[in-house]
């Protein structure tokens, strides 16, 4: 994908310098293609960020996820009895 992004940047530059006006329809078209590639790269990164731990099987001996974010003084004491 990065090669495609580099290629669209090159073609946008070629379109900008080959015409009398830098902002022409071909330049905008190539910059739009670069934006589509960037959105695809961002979506792919976000997807794998969300699902990076889905393939790991931790079994039953995995620590409680709440204990990972709780302060040590909360995680070490049991809940108080009610009533």
Distance CA 74, CA 55 (A): 30
Where do the structural domains in the chain lie, given as residue ranges? 2-51
Give, for all 83 residues of the chain, the pLDDT tens digit. 899 999 999 999 999 999 999 999 999 999 999 999 999 999 999 998 888 776 555 555 666 665 566 666 665 556 665 55
Are the C-beta atoms of 37 and 5 separated by less than 8 Å?
A: yes
Distance CA 52, CA 59 (A): 17
């Amino acid at each position: 994908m990065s090669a495609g992004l580099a290629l669209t940047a090159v073609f946008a530059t070629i379109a900008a310098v080959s015409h009398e006006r830098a902002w022409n329809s071909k330049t905008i078209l190539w910059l739009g293609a670069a934006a589509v590639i960037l959105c695809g790269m961002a979506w792919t990164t976000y997807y794998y960020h969300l699902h990076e731990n889905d393939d790991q099987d931790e079994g039953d001996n995995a620590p409680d996820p709440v204990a990972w974010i709780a302060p040590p003084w909360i995680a070490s004491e049991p809940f108080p009895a009610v009533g």
